[in-house]
Amino acid sequence: MQIKFSRWLVSLIIVGGLFLGGCTSPEVSSQTSENSSTTTPVSVTQANNPQMNNLPRLEGNATVVMVVNGSPITIEIDGNNAPITGGNFVDLVERGFYNGLTFHRVVKSPEPFVAQGGDPQGTGMGGFVDPETKRPRNVPLEIKLKGQDQPSYGKAVGRQAGYSDPQVLLNHKKGAIAMARSQAPDSASSQFYFALSDIDFLDGDYAVFGYVTEGMDVVEGIKQGDKIESAKVTKGAENLKK
């Protein structure tokens, strides 16, 4: 009982932290009530979202090395299964956007949960503003279910949306890297988080786009306020299509 209560408490704490602000959209509210008894998410077709036409795509994998507290963290970005989310992250890395930004939210108690960063304001409310258009860049919620040929966009299919057993391909196992967002599904921008433990109750509600392959001990040592000293694409840069 204590373990279940602790995990429930942690989920409440962190889900609030992953939100970037904003009100619950009618779409999210209706999904929750409509799907509350669903055991397996229905397959959702890819939305015809004009927003996606101008977003970077990662057509294949890429490797990013992030340096925190003087030590490297190697991250494998999965552009095969998360091309838009992965492309957005790799593009921001190549721009040098993350260099010098802090981890503004780190939750390790009562259980290891996430280390969240990527906000240029350092407040948990900011995101990337394209210097060319002067407009914020947002990426749609991108989830690929097992058995799907392509990811689905713009619709949460996890427990927060009322599904009890989301069969996602990229799950929130320890070492996953995923995008933070507001309650609006298509509101992710630059904020990301590392999963400090297996947190599968976020599967289908937040987009995982890669995994730490080396340096998990460095991730586990991140403290609130620690800075990203640098982030560089070391392999697969040619897979980024703008």
Q: Which CATH class is domain 2-47+56-241?
A: mainly beta
What is the pLDDT averaged over residues 203-210? 97
What is the pLDDT averaged over residues 128-139? 95
The residue type of 11 is S
Higher pLDDT, 35 or 135: 135
What is the pLDDT averaged over residues 57-67? 98
Q: Is-above-0.75 flag for pTM? A: yes
Q: Determine which helix (DSSP H) or strand (DSSP E) holds 27, and give its type and residue range.
A: helix 26-34
For 113, the 3-state DSSP assignment is coil
**Cα 134 from Cα 145, distance rounded (Å):** 34
Write down the pLDDT at residue 41: 43
pLDDT over 80 (residue 19):
no
Write down the pLDDT at residue 4: 39
pLDDT over 70 (residue 61):
yes
Taking only Cα atoms into account, the Rg of the chain, rounded to an integer number of angstroms, comes to: 17
Write down the pLDDT at residue 51: 64
**Cα 43 from Cα 148, distance rounded (Å):** 8
pLDDT over 90 (residue 9):
no
Q: What percent of the chain has pLDDT over 70?
A: 79
**Cα 152 from Cα 45, distance rounded (Å):** 6
Taking each continuous run of H as one helix and of E as one strand, the counts in the chain are 4, 12
Query: Which region among 17-21, 93-97, 135-139 has the lowest average model confidence (pLDDT)?
Result: 17-21
Write down the pLDDT at residue 122: 95
Higher pLDDT, 120 or 163: 120
pLDDT over 70 (residue 8):
no
Out of 2-16, 51-65, 201-215, the most confident range is 201-215
Which tokens belong to 47? 């939305």
